[in-house]
Structure 1
Amino acid sequence: MDVRSRGALAAALAALLVLAGCSGGGANGEGLGVDVGGVRGTPGAAGLRDPYFPKLGNGGYDVTHYALDLRYDPKRGRLDATAMITARATQDLSAFNLDLTGLTVAAASVDDAPAAVNRAGNELTLRPRNDIGKGETFRTKVTYAGVPATITDADGSQEGWLRTADGALALGQPAGSMAWFPGNHHPSDKATYDITLTVPAGTEAVANGVRTSERTANGRTTTVWHVAEPMASYLATVGVGQYETKVSATPSGLPVLTAADPTVAARSAPLLKRIPEILARQEENFGPYPFSAAGAIVERTGDAGYALETQTRPVFPLDALTPEILAHELAHQWFGNSVTPESWQDIWLSEGLAVYAEWLYAEDFEDFPARSSFEAAFAVDANWAFPPAEPPAAENLFDPPVYQRGAMVVHKIRERVGDETFYEILSGWPATHRHGNASTADFTEYVEETAGEDLDDVWDVWLYGDGKPDRPDE
């Protein structure tokens, strides 16, 4: 994500994300456990106790695949959709929750049998006909419709489903994806996706991954996108509009698809053409590109308030499309998208490393040493408001210390261990946790194991220390 302040998200989300009860049970799902076929289940938790957003996500199951069938009418702003969610139970389940804001649920089923449905706030609680045993794979179908919500955060930034002049754009960090599909919306539960988009003929519909088919009939065009590698739901995106699309490839043959609003296509084209070149250099620094597709979506200034690292196809408003921010969002494909934070507290791992990718871009392409970028960041007082690994509250998760001081931590590692070991860390970290989740503790342990030395002095001062050191060489 581009540098921005996201405002007081915690209070707003806490008010929205409330536990729903099921028919026949209490408000907290008590009394729902029944003995069916030898399995006596209990309800899955309505939140994963994330340190900053405790009600985000749901317990009791792990999603392995989302199949989303979305039919969108840009004129009315209406979405008619079906979500087919394949998951594995991590406990004996009598009921489970999905995160969904707004929209009307018409029907739900589990393994083709109708399921009882309750709504409370953003919690959709389903009670299957039979309890689900731990370790069992089950398929949930939810049919729903309505005008998806745009979620406005306390600082005025927006996520969720954003209407544009010719269509819509879906952005999900940290919780906006529940505005357009039901799911387990926490970074720790990653899944593969198939996204089918049906829109009026003549309108482009773009999503993550690889476009596998496109057909037009009866005045409607249906496009299918396949995401073969696990993806956190906040990284899912949909763009609907009159895009100009271009297809190219990297030197290694990786397909690159870009989509730009026609009013900004000419201005964005020169930089978008550089995506293969930038990715090739990032592969030298970070190791093999972790996905089967790459690209970008470019909207008009104002259609979105920030750039976002949506998986395989990051989103940029025109005013955020600079070489450095392009390098930042492309680097997120390794740091944040392939290696995803275990919880929102670990977001500095994504943003600090992505900012450092900006510094490496300046070093590699503009002959501006990373040390100079480090010194410039060191001089900015706003970067010292709090330690990057310990934001004081959810509204601070996207504040400057997470980005700039996070990058300073990375540079101090480089200075401490030397370039040879540093680049081993920079490529080995995403390889070790490829397509998984990782925490700050995982990172510090990995760095020390690779370096073969204790780096507590770096962590104590730069990662966890309060206040600004007297000198940048401390």
Structure 2
Amino acid sequence: PARPLRRSDAFTVTVRHHGNGKAPRSGLTGWRFGSDGGFACAAQASRADTFFPCNDHPSDKATWTFHLSAPEGYVAAANGELLRRTRRADGSTVWHFALRERMATELVGIAVVRGTYLYGSSHRGLPLRHIVPRGQEDRYRPVVDRTADHLAWLEAKFGRYPFSVYGCHIYDGYSDALENQTLSLFSTDWFTPDAAGRPRYETTMVHELVHQWYGDSVTPADWQQAWLNEGPAVHYAALYGEERGWSVLDDKMRAAYAGLDKIRAQDGPPGRPRELGGTNIYDGGALVLYALRLRIGDKRFDHVMRLWPERFKDRNVTSEDFIRHAVRVTGDRSLHGFLRDWLFGAVNPPMPGRPDWRADT
């Protein structure tokens, strides 16, 4: 800068960059390209800096505005609320979005696709907007309409949804599911009923919606804390499936317990993973919560989990924060050692109330 910046000075940086997202590169990219000629971004965990300059770390959250130019025949999507659209002489449209709540870079969810917006609201009036493939509105409207019930089910457990809008983006350019803040991204491959005709894909929708509280609003301070995102998402998605008779949570946790010792040795314990995406973070993280529920009882467990996103809303957190929170809410100081053993130990501790559970050898 022409003049040195002093501490606490406000300033703006403008960076101009040109690229098509398809140039040869080493490593993974945050771009996903669909059959419609469009794209969606999936930046988790550290791919946001493959398409814009940023401090790509979950501890650095910020508010955002997006201005996306979409050719004629395409729609744009982004985190947050649509403010306005500006038509250009060439037939393209600039879509302007704002996310007023802070967000980590790994949760950016921008897209330009041949899609259709479907609108609705939650049972308490939260605006819902979804993007589905154009021409497939009748197929996906019943799917996205389930979101209102999912929100009601989770708000009864965690309190009010932490943002001003929510929705699902269903796209064939992506092969998984991702909790982009306020606009979860799903592959079209998810939404097929099981052999009995049951919509068990709803557990995936619930999983990503849980993340809006656990991971998006309350965000890990670094990726060593990722179980704080994935453990609750796996736990409550499984609980949702159990309440609908699709699965049994106890069976899922018993299977996870049997295999977790090997996974701890290979990939690290839930609280100290050696890399991201492992079963130790997902099912292992859920197993930590399951053990805690058995140790302290349903009522106190529900209180711990409900107060967590309330007390730490919009903050970055660590495993130690969760341990202190559980002790504070329950008044049980023995949970210090109990949770540390489950999170950081080389082997599974005994499962409370399940003396017959054994680890595979």
- Give TM-score, length-normalised by structure 1: 0.67
Question: In the TM superposition, what is the alpha-carbon distance from 1:282 to its structure 2 partner?
Answer: 0.2
CA deviation map 1:376-434 (0-9, x unaligned)? 32234565443111112xxx211111100100001111111111111111110001110
How many residues end up aligned between the 2 structures? 339
In structure 2, the partner of 1:197 is 68
Are 1:390 and 2:272 counterparts? yes
In structure 1, the partner of 2:51 is 180
Q: 1:438 aligns with which of 313, 317, 327?
A: 317
Give the 3 Å change call, closer, same or farther, for CA 138–295 of structure 1 in structure 2.
same
Question: In the TM superposition, what is the alpha-carbon distance from 1:460 to its structure 2 partner?
Answer: 4.0
Equivalent residue of 2:161, what SS? coil
In structure 2, the partner of 1:315 is 185
The aligned amino acid for 1:309 is E
Are 1:257 and 2:110 counterparts? no
Question: In the TM superposition, what is the alpha-carbon distance from 1:363 to its structure 2 partner?
Answer: 3.3
In structure 1, the partner of 2:220 is 341
The aligned amino acid for 1:330 is L
Identity of aligned residues (%): 31
8 A Cα contact 2:133 2:170, kept in partner? yes
Give the 3 Å change call, closer, same or farther, for CA 465–152 of structure 1 in structure 2.
farther
Give the 3 Å change call, closer, same or farther, for CA 261–380 of structure 1 in structure 2.
farther
CA deviation map 1:2-35 (0-9, x unaligned)? xxxxxxxxxxxxxxxxxxxxxxxxxxxxxxxxxx
CA deviation map 1:246-292 (0-9, x unaligned)? 00000111111110123654443322110010011100011110000
Equivalent residue of 1:279, what SS? helix
Taking only aligned residues, the RMSD between alpha carbons, in angstroms, comes to 2.2
The aligned amino acid for 2:144 is L
The aligned amino acid for 2:10 is T
Question: In the TM superposition, what is the alpha-carbon distance from 1:140 to its structure 2 partner?
Answer: 1.1
In structure 1, the partner of 2:167 is 295
Q: 1:164 aligns with which of 15, 34, 38?
A: 34
8 A Cα contact 2:118 2:131, kept in partner? yes
Structure 2, unpaired ranges of 5+: 192-200, 356-361
Question: In the TM superposition, what is the alpha-carbon distance from 1:441 to its structure 2 partner?
Answer: 0.7
Q: 1:420 aligns with which of 299, 304, 307?
A: 299
C-alpha separation in 2, matches of 1:277 and 1:320: 19
Give the 3 Å change call, closer, same or farther, for CA 414–468 of structure 1 in structure 2.
closer
8 A Cα contact 2:323 2:336, kept in partner? no
Are 1:240 and 2:112 counterparts? yes
Q: 2:144 aligns with which of 238, 253, 272?
A: 272
Question: In the TM superposition, what is the alpha-carbon distance from 1:371 to its structure 2 partner?
Answer: 2.9
8 A Cα contact 2:224 2:271, kept in partner? yes
Equivalent residue of 2:12, what SS? strand
Give the 3 Å change call, closer, same or farther, for CA 139–336 of structure 1 in structure 2.
same
Q: 1:328 aligns with which of 203, 207, 220?
A: 207
CA deviation map 1:303-352 (0-9, x unaligned)? 22321100000101122351111110000000000000001111111011
Give the 3 Å change call, closer, same or farther, for CA 146–189 of structure 1 in structure 2.
same
Are 1:402 and 2:281 counterparts? yes
Which has the larger strand fraction? 1
Give the 3 Å change call, closer, same or farther, for CA 368–171 of structure 1 in structure 2.
closer
CA deviation map 1:101-135 (0-9, x unaligned)? xxxxxxxxxxxxxxxxxxxxxxxxxxx22211111
C-alpha separation in 1, matches of 2:148 and 2:336: 38
CA deviation map 1:205-250 (0-9, x unaligned)? 1111111112323111111111010000110111111112200000
C-alpha separation in 1, matches of 2:290 and 2:252: 10
Question: In the TM superposition, what is the alpha-carbon distance from 1:469 to its structure 2 partner?
Answer: 4.8
In structure 1, the partner of 2:198 is none
Question: In the TM superposition, what is the alpha-carbon distance from 1:161 to its structure 2 partner?
Answer: 1.8
The aligned amino acid for 1:390 is R
Matches within 5 A, 1:47-62: none
In structure 2, the partner of 1:140 is 13
- Give TM-score, length-normalised by structure 2: 0.88
CA deviation map 1:162-194 (0-9, x unaligned)? 222321111111122112222222111111111
Deviates more, 1:402-411 or 1:211-220: 211-220
Equivalent residue of 1:187, what SS? coil
Give the 3 Å change call, closer, same or farther, for CA 208–270 of structure 1 in structure 2.
same
In structure 1, the partner of 2:197 is none
C-alpha separation in 2, matches of 1:162 and 1:368: 32
Equivalent residue of 2:14, what SS? strand
Give the 3 Å change call, closer, same or farther, for CA 411–230 of structure 1 in structure 2.
same
Question: In the TM superposition, what is the alpha-carbon distance from 1:367 to its structure 2 partner?
Answer: 7.2
CA deviation map 1:65-102 (0-9, x unaligned)? xxxxxxxxxxxxxxxxxxxxxxxxxxxxxxxxxxxxxx
C-alpha separation in 1, matches of 2:218 and 2:18: 33
The aligned amino acid for 2:322 is F
In structure 2, the partner of 1:98 is none
Give the 3 Å change call, closer, same or farther, for CA 320–471 of structure 1 in structure 2.
same
Structure 1, unpaired ranges of 5+: 1-127
Greater gyration radius:
1
